[in-house]
Structure 1
Amino acid sequence: MSDGDDARVTEVRPTSDDPIAAALSRGIGGPVGDRAGRHPWWTPVRVVLALTALCFALGLAQKGPCYSSQWTDSQARYSDMCYSDLPYLYVGRGFAELDWPYSDSLDVRDRYDVMEYPVGISYYAYGAAYVTHWLSGSPDVTPRGGMSQGQMYGDHAIVRESLLFTAVNAVGFGICALIAAGLMSGVNRRRPWDAVLFAVSPVLLFDGLINWDLLAVACVAGVLWAHARDRPLLTGALIGLGTALKLYPLFLLGGLVVIWGRQRRWRDLAVAVAGGAATWAVVNAPGYLSSPHDWNVFWSFNAKRGADLGSVWLVAQQMFGTTYAPHTINIVSWVFFSLWCAGVLVLGLRAPQSPRLAQLGFLLVLGFLLVNKVYSPQYALWLLPLAVLARPRWRDQLIWQAGEVYYFASVWWYLGGFLNPGGGGEPGFYWLAVGLRLAAQLYLGVVVARDIWFPQHDVVRAGRGPAEHLSLWPPAEPGRLSLGRTPDPV
């Protein structure tokens, strides 16, 4: 739909479209009536942004107990569920001395581990450390070279810096959340209110400050927006940027293969792939040129990593009293994921209508997470923008996110030892949490797959106006009637 068509767009009102939204609205006057006007300032996008800011602020408050104890109370970080990687990595990865993450200096590498994240996160963390030092008055870091990491963790000035480092990162994460929410509001001009499901998400509230995942979330939201605007180069570039932050945005290319393959838009697909590859290469170049060995740590670390928190592999190991070699897990996981991708490909190509990118992206990322060697609580953020736009229904989102909240509480209590049976034995309650989390995700995956196979169940396509029915949204494939070319809904 071109920009000139905005005047013809009929905005979908949530309280008229979603039964749960209608029920929730009764306490504030009930569903919007047919003659209701529009507030001159509180547009849908501004409401979504305000709700996102409020939700993220509540998430910061939720981390308050750990901030107050300077993240030094090992029990409180689990009992109060306020753990974050950020203050620990400030010292543990050399940011307290403002060391470049890909420094090949022997002095640096003897003291600190290399950042085990993709380069985009390493750059961002280094930039946040630079701002932290500047706000701290640019302290002299020379004396810190003679201190051990244990001494640095106990140094009051450095501890204060680690808290400031966390706050600086949090400001950036909040901006990323606002960018993601704003972009999601603009993906489908008929349904700007769908982004409210992102704005008030418990996943955003609880998981936003654990690690740097929100950086990639903003890129994924940008991919969905750019695709909805029919901009292949920008779509590919944002996939490349997102992949430089986290690996999973790469899987969105699979969705583009299905959608543009059905439409024979091979040139657009080539442009997106080229744009993504070029962007990824440019972003990776500084880290690779600084130290190819350190740049490769992200890939080697994940290849050698064993079963870890949240994964079915960890549960299986504990349940059967065995240990799976990383090589075995790698092979089985990639075989499963390859078969899953093949299934999504067949589903997408044989569906009656071209699926939406959010639907395909959600299914692909879900398949990757189901058998991943580690499934940290914040990885739910990977699914969030895709899930919200793939199935914008309060009931289904609440079911899925209830599983995430249950797991969020369980994993911290498990790490704190609070779920251990009184008589000894394995933590069955933690296994239950992992199982319920995966069951909730599979439920949403089944619903999304049903919407693809039976498009009449897809709420994004339901209730379109006459003009949109005539244009066959999404665009007709070659050989089929089309009275107007419009981008796919995402």
Structure 2
Amino acid sequence: MVRRIDGRVVALAIGMACTCLLGWAFKAHCMADGWVAAIQYTTGCYSDAVPFWGMRHVDQGLIPYLETPMEYPVLTGLQIWIEGALARGLFGTDASAATFLGAVTLVNALLAGLILWMCARAGMDRQRLWLWALAPPLVLYLGHNWDLGATALAVAAMLAAHRQRLVLAAALAALGAAAKLFPVLLLPLIGLTALFAPDQAWPTRFRTAAACTLVAIGTWTAVNLPVALAAPENWSEFYRFSQQRAGTAGSTWEILSNQNLWVTGIAERNFYASLAFLLGAAAITGLGWKRHRARLWVLFTPILAWFLLTNKVWSPQFDLWLYPLLVMTSPRLRPLALFAIGDVAAYFAEFWWFAGMSNAWPYATTHDILLAASVRGVAMLWLIADAVRLPAPGWITRARG
């Protein structure tokens, strides 16, 4: 007998599909003009996929790291190569930056759907599922970059931790760190969750924490070591590039510098950003310890928010790292709405600032970026405060299977 399909699940799937179609339209509307001049900034249709098609030799099918440089970690480089192969395989000699953008958008849509499926399967309440299915950041960033691969792995790691499968969670977080670095912030919390698990003997705690550590190191090494040995210069470009970058217009440090409030160089930013993050992460962990000791992994969300606020680089699509985690773990949803408003405002403020450099309209100034980023920053500080002082959402605190 064929099982009846739940209409609510169908509605969520249709909602997600509509959001993804809007995400495609948002980037692809520049297809006719080829993303030239300032149109990609004035309309917001800029995508990293378009320059990557030629600049990183995706059009030629060159293997990342081994045959062409790549400023991303290994799993993201692999994702880019697969999407390029998909575009070339489907369109042959007609493959172009536009068809590559289509492949990138399709894979990201599948990853967004995977996140929705994982969260629904874990028992997340329907209101939160709809907040992801209709997420504004998906419209902005679905075709923008390759962040959803690491985000999906980070979500999977948190859901594994929710099921108390901490070793699996460590492996998934390590895979995420091999795609984009931010899931590495989850690993210490998984280890602490194992080490201080209530109602378990200390020998068991130590064994579980040690297993999490060894599995995380082994997983990340297994992915990275072959490439690092075969092409050390290209493999290490991501890490060198991250160290040498000055900053981006939406980052706290660049905003302070542009407003002449605190002008810093690269070395100073590296130091102060690291110091501010470590102190803040320690404070978040300490303040949230008593309430969340049994599930310290939920503090990954406020720690990641603090990382974004203190980091010297804040590319617009980084908000897509945080949004699904906020949907999952935020005790209250009102500050999430403010975050989404700030995200949209900051996106257009930054790209209209680029438009102003090309003497195009609409344009924005660094003061506009300050205002938009301030809305987003206030929302994030609100969310951080909620995360450490309020109970986790009910779907998390319910009995785990």
TM-score by length of 2: 0.89
Partner of 1:83: 46
Shift of 1:165: 1.0
Corresponding pairs, count:
392
Q: CA deviation at 1:133?
A: 2.2
Distance 1:389 1:425 in 2: 33
Q: Using the alignment, how far apart are the partners of 2:18 and 2:254 within structure 1? A: 36
Unaligned runs of 5+ in 1: 1-38, 109-113, 140-156, 463-472, 475-485
Relative to structure 1, is the Cα distance of residues 169 and 461 closer, same or farther in structure 2, using a 3 angstrom cutoff?
Answer: closer
Q: Are 1:217 and 2:151 counterparts? A: yes
2:9 and 2:331 mapped to 1: Cα distance? Answer: 16
Preserved CA contact (<8 Å) 1:362 1:387: yes
Give the counterpart letter for 2:274 in structure 1: W
Superposed counterparts of 1:14-413, under 5 Å: 40-42=4-6, 44-72=8-36, 74-103=37-66, 114-137=69-92, 139=93, 160-187=95-122, 189=123, 191=125, 193-263=127-197, 265-320=205-260, 324-349=264-289, 351-354=290-293, 356=295, 359-391=298-330, 393-413=332-352
Determine the C-alpha separation between the residues in 2 that align with 1:243 and 1:196.
Answer: 27
Residue 43 of structure 1 deviates from its aligned partner by: 5.5
* 1:186-231 Cα deviation digits (max 9, x unpaired): 23x3635522211111112212221100111111121122122222
Whether the 8 Å contact between 1:103 and 1:291 is mirrored in structure 2 is yes
Report the CA distance between 1:326 and its aligned residue: 1.4
- Alignment partner of 1:63: what SS? helix
Q: Is the 8 A contact 1:224 1:358 kept in 2?
A: yes
Contact 2:190 2:297 in 1 (8 A): no
CA distance in structure 1 between the aligned counterparts of 2:207 and 2:288, rounded to whole angstroms? 20
Alignment partners' CA distance in 2, 1:425 and 1:136 = 38
Instruction: Note closer, same or farther for the CA distance 1:103–1:186 as it changes in structure 2 (3 Å cut).
Output: same
Contact 2:291 2:389 in 1 (8 A): no
Task: State how far apart, in whole Å, the 2-side matches of 1:300 and 1:119 are.
Answer: 14
| Matched residue SS, 2:29 | helix
Do the aligned residues in 2 keep the contact of 1:49 with 1:182 (CA within 8 Å)? Answer: no
Check whether the contact 1:183–1:222 (CA below 8 A) recurs between aligned residues: yes
* Cα offsets for 1:378-432 (capped at 9, x unmatched): 1011111211111164423212211111111211111111899x9x996312222
1:257 partner letter: G
Residue correspondence of structure 1 range 446-461 to structure 2 within 5 A: 446-451=385-390, 455=391, 458-460=392-394
Shift of 1:118: 0.8
Answer yes or no: is the 8 Å Cα contact 2:116–2:129 preserved in 1: yes
Assess if the C-alpha contact under 8 Å between 2:335 and 2:379 holds in 1: no
For 1:401, the aligned partner's letter is: A
| Counterpart contact for 2:105–2:143, Cα < 8 Å | yes
Structure 1 residues 95-104 or 364-373, which shifts more?
Answer: 95-104
The residue identity in structure 1 corresponding to 2:217 is A
Letter in 2 for 1:256: I
3-state SS of 1:354 partner: helix
1:3-14 equivalences under 5 Å are none
1:302: Cα distance to partner? 0.6
- Assess if the C-alpha contact under 8 Å between 2:61 and 2:84 holds in 1: yes
* Aligned AA (1:333): A
Deviation at 1:48, TM superposition (A): 3.1
Aligned-partner SS, 2:369: helix
Q: Does the C-alpha gap of structure 1 residues 354 and 313 become closer, same or farther in structure 2, counting only changes over 3 Å?
A: same
Structure 1 residues 241 and 51: CA distance shift in structure 2, 3 A: same
1:124-173 deviation line (CA, Å, top 9, x unaligned): 11122222222233x5xxxxxxxxxxxxxxxxx6xx51111111111111
- Structure having the higher Rg: 1
Mean CA deviation greater in 218-227 or 244-253: 218-227
Aligned AA for 2:13? Answer: L
RMSD of the TM alignment (CA)? 2.8
- Which of 365, 368, 371 does residue 429 from structure 1 map onto? 368
**What amino acid does structure 1 have at the position aligned with 2:367?**
G
Distance 1:212 1:41, change over 3 A: same
Q: Is the 8 A contact 1:55 1:205 kept in 2?
A: yes
Distance 1:253 1:217, change over 3 A: same
Distance 2:208 2:126 in 1: 26
Q: Give CA-to-partner distance per residue, 1:342-387, whole Å, 9 cap, x none.
A: 11221233x2453645630111111211111111111011111211
Q: Is the 8 A contact 2:349 2:365 kept in 1?
A: no
Q: Which amino acid aligns with 1:82?
A: C
Which one has a larger percent helix, Structure 1 or Structure 2? 2
Q: Give the distance between the partners of 2:124 and 2:306, measured in 1 at CA.
A: 30
Separation in structure 1 between the aligned mates of residue 294 and residue 73 of structure 2, nearest angstrom: 30
Amino acid at match of 1:57: L
SS in 1 for 2:303: helix
1:310 and 1:195 mapped to 2: Cα distance?
Answer: 29
In the alignment, is the contact (CA less than 8 A) between 2:177 and 2:183 conserved in 1? yes
Number of the residue aligned with 1:442: 381
